[in-house]
Amino acid sequence: MKYTLHIWRQESPSAKGDFVSYIVDDISPDSSFLEMMDLLNEQLIAKGEDPVTFDSDCREGICGSCSMVIDGRAHGPGHGCTTCEVRMRSFRDGDHIYIEPFRSAAFPLIKDLMVDRSAFDRIIESGGYVTVHSGPKPEPNSLPIPHAVAEHAMDAAECIGCGACVAACPNGAAMLFTSAKISHLGLLPQGEPEHDTRVVGMVHQMEQEGFGACTNHAECQDACPKGISISFISRMNRAFAKATLREPDQRRGTMSNQ
């Protein structure tokens, strides 16, 4: 199979980037998209050119490293898969393929297709944790959790933090990521003590990072390799409103009657 690739090349964060076209030939339809990229890079290295920089790690769809927008779709064609799971048979022989980095003000570009997604780490640091006691290991079944609740929390916990939701969102919002991280802890009794501070802290950090706002297009849900539901965004909105408006800030202390 033969393809014409139009890849975004940018030397450094401050350099001016543009699309560069490459022709790759003799590609097996059963090779993965990243294997095709590896072959291209080997050719570039052989010619003494700078290979295309892109993120990848596990190459089995669980690490959330790969981050490309292929032909206008985050992670490329198909549902519920990351770029490493895309096979070249998804394209027709002779296709022109546009490869762009995830575009977001909060994901500064490092080089070519590699972006800095540490904004997500800072959102996690702002509340994506639970308090555990450091004594002897507790009896695992001492805290009963209904099966449906555990499954619901697991649906949110599937998030691999790849950032495809941000890349696919017409507004560059990180609502799906943040809401999934808030929900997978907030739905469980272990996450209850920090429920409100978690929502407020993580939402605040999300806004600080420069992500956009949700306009309910549901593009994130469609692009998510783990199929995370926008119902978690709805849940986060309600939790945020409750935490900021209804919950008392301070109810301790003495009071004067005059």
Partner 1 sequence: MRLLKFYQSSIGKKIVAAVTGAILFLFLVAHMLGNLKIYSGAEKIDAYSLHLRTFMEGFFGFGGFLWIARVVLLVAVVLHITSVVLLIRQNRQARPIRYRRKRRFATSIAALSMILTGPWILVYIVLHILQFTTGTLQPTPFKETPQGIGAVYFNLWNAFQVWWIAALYVVSMAFICLHLYHGLWSMFQSVGWNNPDRNRNVRLFATISSIALFLGFSSVPVLVWADVVPPPAGQDGTVVVEKVGVESPALVAEGQDSRD
State yes or no: residue 4 binds partner 1 (CB under 8 A). Answer: no
Strand, helix or coil for residue 232: helix
Q: Is 108 helix (H, G, I), strand (E, B) or coil?
A: coil
Q: Which helix (H) or strand (E) holds 150?
A: helix 147-157
188 and 153 Cβ atoms separated by less than 8 Å: yes
218 binds partner 1 (CB under 8 A): yes
Smallest gap from Cβ 100 to partner 1, in A, equals: 6
Q: Which phi and psi (to 5°) does residue 239 adopt? A: -65, -35
Instruction: Decide if residue 234 touches partner 1 (CB under 8 A).
Output: yes
Packing angle of the helix pair 147-157, 175-186 (nearest 10 deg): 150
Identify the residue among 117, 195, 226, 235 touching partner 1 (CB under 8 A).
Answer: 235
The reply on whether position 202 binds partner 1 by CB under 8 A is no
Query: Could you say whether residue 214 binds partner 1 (CB under 8 A)?
Result: yes
Burial 144-160 (b: 16+ CB within 10 A, else e): eeeeeeeebbebbbebb
Among the residue ranges 34-42, 133-141, 187-195, 222-230, the one whose residues contact partner 1 (CB under 8 A)? 222-230
* Angle of CA points 195, 141, 178, to nearest 5°: 25
Q: How far is the CB of 182 from partner 1 (least distance, A)?
A: 11
Euclidean distance between the first and final Cα of the chain, in Å? 85
Q: Does 172 bind partner 1 (CB under 8 A)?
A: yes
- By CB under 8 A, tell whether 148 contacts partner 1: no
The one among 24, 73, 158, 161 contacting partner 1 by CB under 8 A: 73
Stretch in the footprint of partner 1 (CB under 8 A) among 46-54, 60-68, 80-88, 212-220:
212-220
What is the largest distance, in Å, between two alpha-carbon atoms of the chain?
87
Assess 160 for contact with partner 1 (CB under 8 A): no
Q: Does 2 bind partner 1 (CB under 8 A)?
A: no
Give the whole-angstrom CA distance, residue 129 versus residue 167. 25
Binding of partner 1 by 187 (CB under 8 A): no
C-alpha–C-alpha distance, residues 36 and 34, integer Å: 5
Q: Which residues contact 218 (CB under 8 A, 6 or more apart)?
A: 230
Closer to partner 1 at the Cβ: 40 or 214?
A: 214
Contact map string, positions 74 to 113, toward partner 1, x by CB under 8 A: ------------------------x-x--xxxx-------
**Counting contacts by CB under 8 A, is residue 119 touching partner 1?**
no
Closest-CA residue to 184 (of 162, 165, 161) = 161
Stretch that binds partner 1, among 47-55, 65-73, 85-93, 119-127 (CB under 8 A): 65-73
**Residues that bind partner 1 in the complex, under the rule CB under 8 A:** 6, 8, 19, 69, 71-73, 98, 100, 103-106, 168, 170-173, 203-204, 207, 210-219, 221-223, 229-231, 233-241, 244-245, 249
